[in-house]
Structure 1
């Protein structure tokens, strides 16, 4: 039986989880439909999900569907939990993008659609809520064509649109696709049979229906089975896309196998697989092995993290697809040690939490996508760890990028360098952080090169003004060390021989000197926004946008599209209703980083500061320095 790993994606409240319930019901996995409002859905298992009525963690459920085994992954729709969607994308064969027939294409819808297209994931579009007042058909198709993809194939029509009795019948309309596909156009003109419709990265079949009433679901199921390919994702081995904790605190890895077999008692790195459960028939069953195409949970991998691979996987499938969090806040609790341990566990399940500890102020910082995520962290710490926490005010997380090229070098046994190491580094603009050698790899022990690279990546978490430097190309231009030396009785003398610690201690000084030579530019996160406002209120909204540093890019019947600094989104959302008779609705998502206009903000540094040589050496070496060593 073929296996299809299917993702259900949508903007929050488009009906994604309700659609998942309907598919489970149609497949016979559940006897009655669960309700998001009642907190009784199959895939929203966390108490917090049931209470809030939103999906927070991705969930997997497997079932047979017309001869195909479907592993369905329900993902969060709220933009604060985009990290959960991020890690699922690499394990999908196909996707269903859910759009509300009433609200239409929303901010998160466009983000998801662009990402699915970029990853070339075959995607069906399901227009939900045709039974709701205000539901649209032709206008909605025009909107999807303009904002998602013009290459659409409507697969159904709706009678009684916008009423509880809305009925859906199958009807394939190739006219829209003909405008974008010469082969289809030629077939229609010549009255030949057009090529078969298949979902791929350029063509999206569109189904209409209602997850609540069941209208149009049979047609969608047919599309899932017949139009989406199975076993699409490339690569060998498997990918961990989720990590949970079991009742005893043990790690449980969610793994999709692409090729090969993983068996109980197999060794993975330092760990040994102690148990496997495969998703099947609405639940999981213990198995001796996990085979190609299957998704399962694996126990025994105590060191595993999200994104880890089992075997060999295609590198492209591991690249980040969404922007990192653009907000940060300090988490405060009286039981600090327990707080840090709890947050460390949460960071295993969500690496983008990105813990940052300030030992001097005894505070721990977490990165965020939004305020809802902060509420979830607070509730999780209270319910799972018994910790009552509060937060400092959320601040915008800026980044620094090199303004040009810079270089620095310090030589072994040459003042003012107190370390037994030679390190030379050249920095410049890059795409992500890269590290390469311009010296012979055999010029010193491999462990010393590893120490330099690891320290480079750690040091770039704080640039010249304290912000992360996520895009920087670093090249090691000079290397040197003191070989291992011993006294007459063969006792190793660390004071005469280089160690990895020498390279770890020297690298921050050289790297920051090179970065200072290059200079950095502080960038702020910019959101793309849509302000849905009555047409007659646009003149009142535009001056507010100007004061907030927003740039309107287009106005239309739906309102205003534009860009705005992330730091100003909250104020725009707060003030918009007062200018639009309470009718204004704002949707925004991260779009890009842009240089800060005006004086760049500075973030206080944590740990030893390599920009202050004397202070850094006092803390790192912990000894009195000579005047030559303390000079800059």
Structure 2
């Protein structure tokens, strides 16, 4: 397989450093094995000695990227995580995303910070609803997608059937890079489509350690593996006849997807996937600002805050903002400007992040993810820059569909309650809505999915010592309105106007779309606009 075509750059220059970066996210439907794959990639890069638990296995430690107590207890990822490590003289910035649809807003923010994505498919289920939504986000952002068909170690569908589903459903032409030997559930190895080499894997217990890989030439494979000559050669010939060969331009243009097969739980095909990401995934390129003008890589430092997370270090209770470097060279200690407020922001506490682990970071380049500690003034979507002003496109909020009034159970813990609500609001964990009618002691929480309420409840109790009660509201639809609209809508039944804390926007909430449309017809000209501008609505 050939390396991507790149222009040579002077050693040590910003452009040369950017060419060494690969920044990508893993996206999938829940239970496709995303966190297991994330852990396996780190294991095969030899940055950890043993992988964490395969979800559902009692008595094992949680995966490196799943560090919240709720994630380990439930066996699902509920927040995105960053793993930065070196591999083959490249710097890998791997972003693990929540698979559950209730946390799709967090995933959307992550996709604003990557240059490529790995679409993980369950061999028995193929494309699922959440995967389709996330792919739509990738398409809208022009993010190239590489596909990994996982769980080939358990019974599932035929490989050709899965490829056909990808092409027919999302319009991506599959380009197999590797091909499985044996049906799903009877995996004998993986063949390199370009050379015919067969890789056979020595599986380890639960995939906890890296197994040995035996590479056979086509001649050796034909002698030692009956299925190689009985089925694989015919399937590879069929792929050639239908024009399924790899084309780098089509991949980068987002019209085709390289496909690899494996079983992350046992480490099968994971190392090959890691190599494919280094060889095929694009390096950072100039990113457009809010006006659509590309910010060249060698211009002064600029970056986008795509995530804010508190509580990663329980001993310090600090708050970390994750900054994707878009241009320039970052140096710890430099003073940047907050594009939204014009205020200075010092970067004395800059860190490289690997799941929950953090180390002091002295410099970074385009594509890198920098953790900025004690970033109380930063929110997702903020732009930071040095010298030359720039503003990158904001990250829009999703339209909430679930609403609940939250109250502190213990009046004596009200101060902690307020601080916790403010913290989670600023992180983007939940949207906080307020009104004079309800008062400050009973704000309304607005969520994309109900699991967000569980996260809020757990974190308020655990991190802030403020147990809360929730009262579910029957609203299901939210629309933007203005002050004139609020005067009219607050007089209607089965609707209410609340103010969003983060930006002061007025949100009209309705029990259902039918009620909203009835009120719209009754009050023509009243502002009731969708919340999203650029995001993919649920």
Fold-level similarity (TM above 0.5):
yes
Larger RCO (CA within 8 A; separation ≥ 6): 2
- In the aligned structure 2, how far is the partner of 1:20 from the partner of 1:272? 32
Q: Kindly indicate whether residue 304 of structure 2 is the aligned counterpart of residue 239 of structure 1.
A: yes
Question: Of the candidates 79, 102, 110, which is equivalent to residue 57 of structure 1?
Answer: 79
2:275 is aligned to 222
Shift of 1:12: 0.8
2:475 is aligned to 396
1:125 is aligned to 147
2:346 is aligned to 272
Whether the 8 Å contact between 2:383 and 2:390 is mirrored in structure 1 is no
- In the aligned structure 1, how far is the partner of 2:483 from the partner of 2:95? 46
Q: 1:461–1:200: structure 2 CA closer, same or farther, 3 Å change rule?
A: same
SS at match of 2:264: coil
Q: 1:310–1:177: structure 2 CA closer, same or farther, 3 Å change rule?
A: farther
Unmatched segments (≥5 aa) in structure 2: 1-16, 195-235, 289-294, 296-301, 338-342, 486-499, 514-521
2:160 is aligned to 138
Q: 1:290–1:459: structure 2 CA closer, same or farther, 3 Å change rule?
A: closer
Q: Kindly indicate whether residue 459 of structure 2 is the aligned counterpart of residue 385 of structure 1.
A: no
Residues 597-627 of structure 1: CA deviation (Å, up to 9, x unaligned): xxxxxxxxxxxxxxxxxxxxxxxxxxxxxxx
Q: Kindly indicate whether residue 128 of structure 2 is the aligned counterpart of residue 106 of structure 1.
A: yes
CA RMSD of aligned residues (A): 3.8
SS at match of 1:243: strand
Residues 341-383 of structure 1: CA deviation (Å, up to 9, x unaligned): 2111111111652333555464211111222222222222222
Residues 551-576 of structure 1: CA deviation (Å, up to 9, x unaligned): xxxxxxxxxxxxxxxxxxxxxxxxxx
Q: Kindly indicate whether residue 89 of structure 2 is the aligned counterpart of residue 67 of structure 1.
A: yes
SS at match of 2:91: strand
Whether the 8 Å contact between 1:49 and 1:55 is mirrored in structure 2 is yes
Q: 1:376–1:208: structure 2 CA closer, same or farther, 3 Å change rule?
A: same
Q: 1:48–1:133: structure 2 CA closer, same or farther, 3 Å change rule?
A: same
Question: 5 Å matches for 1:555-574?
Answer: none
SS at match of 2:416: helix
Shift of 1:280: 7.5
Whether the 8 Å contact between 1:90 and 1:317 is mirrored in structure 2 is no
2:229 is aligned to none
SS at match of 1:18: helix
SS at match of 2:443: strand
Q: 1:3–1:133: structure 2 CA closer, same or farther, 3 Å change rule?
A: same
- In the aligned structure 1, how far is the partner of 2:33 from the partner of 2:110? 19
SS at match of 1:30: coil
Q: Kindly indicate whether residue 26 of structure 2 is the aligned counterpart of residue 4 of structure 1.
A: no
Whether the 8 Å contact between 1:397 and 1:524 is mirrored in structure 2 is no
Structure index of larger Rg: 1
Name the stretch that deviates more: 322-331 or 366-375: 322-331
- In the aligned structure 1, how far is the partner of 2:109 from the partner of 2:115? 14
Q: 1:389–1:145: structure 2 CA closer, same or farther, 3 Å change rule?
A: same
Question: Of the candidates 400, 418, 423, which is equivalent to residue 345 of structure 1?
Answer: 423
- In the aligned structure 2, how far is the partner of 1:354 from the partner of 1:178? 56
Shift of 1:31: 1.1
Q: Kindly indicate whether residue 40 of structure 2 is the aligned counterpart of residue 27 of structure 1.
A: no
- In the aligned structure 2, how far is the partner of 1:134 from the partner of 1:384? 42
1:580 is aligned to none
Q: Kindly indicate whether residue 237 of structure 2 is the aligned counterpart of residue 161 of structure 1.
A: no
- In the aligned structure 1, how far is the partner of 2:34 from the partner of 2:117? 12
SS at match of 1:355: strand
Q: 1:386–1:119: structure 2 CA closer, same or farther, 3 Å change rule?
A: same
- In the aligned structure 2, how far is the partner of 1:388 from the partner of 1:288? 40
SS at match of 1:306: coil
Residues 387-442 of structure 1: CA deviation (Å, up to 9, x unaligned): 2222112433323478xx9999xxxxxxxxxxxxxxxxxxxxxxxxxxxxxxxxxx
SS at match of 1:318: coil
Q: 1:348–1:400: structure 2 CA closer, same or farther, 3 Å change rule?
A: closer
Question: How many residues are treated as equivalent by the alignment?
Answer: 423
SS at match of 1:461: strand
Q: 1:200–1:34: structure 2 CA closer, same or farther, 3 Å change rule?
A: farther
Q: 1:385–1:279: structure 2 CA closer, same or farther, 3 Å change rule?
A: closer
Shift of 1:222: 2.5
SS at match of 2:306: strand
- In the aligned structure 2, how far is the partner of 1:318 from the partner of 1:242? 12
Q: Report the TM-score, using the length of structure 1 for normalisation.
A: 0.60
Q: Kindly indicate whether residue 307 of structure 2 is the aligned counterpart of residue 254 of structure 1.
A: no
2:373 is aligned to 299
2:408 is aligned to 333
